[in-house]
Amino acid sequence: MKFITAALLFASTLACSSVFSQQAAAGPEIIVSTQKNGTIKGLVTEQESGDPIASASIQIYQDVLDTTSHKVRQLLVGSMISKTDGTFELANLPTPSKLKLVVAVVGHETYQKVFSLTTDGSVQDMGTLKLVSSTSNLKDVTVNATSDQFFKMGVDRKIFSVAQSLVSTGQTAAEVMAQIPSVDVDMDGNVSLRGGSPQLFIDGKPTTLTLDQIPSDIIDKVELITNPSAKFDASSNGGSIINIVLKKDRKSGYNGGLTAGVDTRGATNFGGDFAFRQGKFNFFARGMHRGRDSKSENSTRRNFLNNDTSIVQTGTSHNTGSFGFYNAGIDYLMNGRNTITLEGRYVRGTFDQDQPTFVDSLAGGDAYSYSRLASSSGFHFKDLNGELSYKHLFNEDGDHNLTFDARYSNSDNGNNSDLNTGIYNDPQFTDPRIPNILRTTYGDGKRKRYTVQADYVNPISEDNKIEAGLRFDSQNSDNSNYQYEDSTGGLDGMKLNTRVSSLYSYDEKTYAAYGIWSSRLSEKFTYQLGLRAERYEYSGKNYSIDGKTYTPFAVNYPLNLFPSAFLTYTITDKQDLQASYSRKTNRPNFWQLIPVYDYSDPYNIRVGNSSLKPEFTNLFELNYNIRYGANSNFLVSGYMRQTMDMITRYQYIDSKVDPSNDSTIVNSYINANTSYTYGLELTDKMTLLKIWDLTGNINIFNSIINTRDLDGSNIRNQQWSWFAKLNNTFKLPKGFSFQWSGDYHAKTVLPNGTDNRRGGFGGSNLGTAQGYISPYYGFDAAIKKDWKWGEGNSLSLTASINDIFGTEKRDSYSKTAITEEYSSRFRTPRIVRLTLSWRFGQIDKSLFKRKAQPDQGSDNGGGNMGGQGGDMGGM
């Protein structure tokens, strides 16, 4: 046995020697060093100003032989970040060896230098390395350094760094989105992007969470993908994607932080995070809690055009509650080629609302009836997610890889409401017209989702690359809604109203596959062609209230193809031009399909339309990007979105809904003819002074909606509009920084979005495709003080205020053949928030004695470190 073992070792040695000899004959000399006693130092400055550059990425590479591909690869043997004074000193480098120094920082050309280290252990001074300001084209920005740059361009997305956003500190992702160019956020946290409702991702994966369920303090970046390729889900709403990238750390050692805050309404937030990396394991955990306490005012006047009557509805809303966000995970770096990641996320929340409302009924302009509605409601939810990921690298560069992801989510929600309606003959509410009407509603919902996908990337040559993937997604939802009524003012007791109660379930299944071919035709021209195929199955059951019988309905959409194309032309090293096209779909959701009446708001009765068809959208985009000056970027985007069979809302009269009222108005959905949105967007990020960074964005667009009235006549709603955003950040002496931001929204077409129902009945009424939102504007501000000591320890105090001048009032108008409606909503402005954050950590490599090679500040082929999805699968 010993002889056989020795023979095998001898044969392996000969084979390795043969490979190394052949490689040496065909390429550069390979020196494998075992000693790590080399040290270099130097200074990084800007060539134009001579100022030192902090947070520059210093990387040292050594040529080694890839034993799998038998090709010479560059191995990262050391890295660090330059200090605040621009200096660096990097030890434990291999000697004797021939190495390459690479210095990179956003906004400057990459510096490279080849040098040799001897064996005497002395420190080699690299001198002053002067970096020249450069431009960044539409290729991905890959810099292993921390940067405060707010805006960057990726190959298919705009990247906004919000980790240092001051005005959204201690809030939610909704407030973060309000600071992002191109993104519009209403008071309910509903987001629109270029007139459509984008799909929300977290770390490159679709999520069922809403923006107000994601704390702002855990967000690192926001990526806008306005024209997703065939790699992404074809059913993304509006054809666009917003990817929220969470904060994470990949350094060896440990680090963490604690955060606590309070606002002037008494709402609190607190949380913490911790991570450490040792050897082949990387562990991370985070927990955040946030309280909510807000007030809003609303008013609505609805005029009925078929008779001379109106209702005027006014009220206030007080919302309280809290939610928590917790996640943890671990990466196992099996070796340099294989990584397994296991991650879990738990989100829960409880929200309560008190909404007293007063309704005046008018005839001929004179009031004849007065109503007082006392409404209170509650909503709670739990969402549990788990993900197992595996990534295999076929080479050390990692550009040839295979990833596999399996995800599971289980959510549970419940809601309850009490409504007491009193109708009176006088405005003092002393002469009741009828006994009070009492309503109590209980509802709950459960949802499970399973997703399995695989993605493969292979750069088959220097100028060509193929990508392919498969995905299966299954969702199941069970919901119930029981409403009890008493129209005698409490004399008869509450009785179940089977007419308006509901019990239903539905299943969705999506099968998808995609392929993408990327190629470079010349040094200046590249293209990418993709094709995605999707099949969708939908089935539902509407049960009788006793659960014994049900009415089934099912929709099976045939296999559809969704092409995409990207063409990029590099004009100069500072300018790029890119054209792109993709086809997307938006399938009707359960609320739009289910033929069950929703009576939760007696003045806004709703019902679905089971005959709805999916809408298909063609997306076109043309981008021109130029880098100028130091750390400045200007982007011009022209875009058009054409939607066929657009799903929109409309109203009609149904005499069967309420036996006591033969002219009851019902809100439902139809497929409109077409809609078009086209516009021009300008985004400019510039450094005006060393202490002043400014990002401005203006979006000018035209929205056209063609639909049909009940009598078959065509209706055209068109409106030119624009909105602008401005974000200013000032870095002041003594650790202070200040941020001021503002936005302005001109008059715009009333959007046709999806319901925001959280799994229960209810939601705001937008009425119809005809209408507009009046202009509005607002300003936010924040100031921050930082204290730093030692290495990796800091303390910061942030004070922020929203809607400084109290101008964020939303007025809207809508009109149908039956009604016209004026509404106004206003949320309490000028809420001041104080947030205290402490960061701690130790990244000394000697803290955790690793048996493998020293930490290199990168994945080293590790794949999804810290739970981030790397290349966004998006399937």
pLDDT digits (tens, 9 = 90+) for 682-726: 999 888 888 888 889 999 999 887 776 655 667 777 888 998 999
Confidence of residue 855 (pLDDT cuts 50, 70, 90): very low
- As a whole number of angstroms, the distance between CA 637 and CA 697 comes to 11
Residue 445 token pair: 């919902």
pLDDT at 312: 94
- Name the strand (E) or helix (H) holding 432: none
User: Whats the size of the chain, residue-wise?
Assistant: 875
Segment of 135-144, 194-203, 673-682 carrying the highest mean pLDDT = 673-682
Mean pLDDT check: name the lowest of 232-236, 491-495, 738-742.
232-236
Helix (H, G, I), strand (E, B) or coil at 549: coil
Cα distances from 475 to residues 158, 369, 404, 588, 850, in angstroms, run 30, 47, 20, 15, 44
Confidence of residue 538 (pLDDT cuts 50, 70, 90): confident
Tokens 């666009």, located at residue: 240
Phi-psi category of residue 710: left, alpha or beta, with phi > 0 → left and psi -120 to 50 → alpha: alpha
Would you list the domain boundaries of the chain?
A: 23-131, 151-244, 245-867
pLDDT at 78: 82
Segment of 62-71, 92-101, 748-757, 821-830 carrying the highest mean pLDDT = 821-830
3-state helix, strand, coil in the chain (%, to 5): 5, 60, 35
Q: Would the pLDDT of 849 be above 60?
A: no
- Count Cβ atoms below 10 Å from residue 358 Cβ, excluding itself: 16
Tokens 């099949």, located at residue: 535
Tokens 């306490």, located at residue: 293
- Count Cβ atoms below 10 Å from residue 83 Cβ, excluding itself: 15
Q: Would the pLDDT of 8 be above 80?
A: no
- The mean per-residue pLDDT over the stretch 235-245 comes to 77
- As a whole number of angstroms, the distance between CA 631 and CA 694 comes to 11
Mean pLDDT across the chain = 80
Virtual CA dihedral for 11, 13, 19, 20, nearest 10 degrees? -160
- As a whole number of angstroms, the distance between CA 181 and CA 590 comes to 31
- As a whole number of angstroms, the distance between CA 650 and CA 819 comes to 11
pLDDT at 649: 78
pLDDT at 777: 93
Q: How far is CA 259 from the centre of its chain?
A: 22
Q: Would the pLDDT of 21 be above 60?
A: no
Q: How far is CA 179 from the centre of its chain?
A: 13
596-633 as b/e: b if 16+ CB within 10 A: bbbbbbbebbbbbbbebebbbbebebebebbbeebbbb
Tokens 């985070």, located at residue: 286
Q: Would the pLDDT of 157 be above 60?
A: yes
Q: Which of the two residues, 22 and 98, has the higher pLDDT score? A: 98
pLDDT at 711: 57
Residue 770 token pair: 């005809």
Residue 627 CA neighbour count, 13 Å, CB half: 21
- The CATH code of the domain at 151-244 is 2.170.130.10
Q: Which fold is adopted by the domain 23-131? A: Immunoglobulin-like (2.60.40)
Q: Would the pTM count as exceeding 0.85?
A: no
Q: Which fold is adopted by the domain 245-867? A: Maltoporin; Chain A (2.40.170)
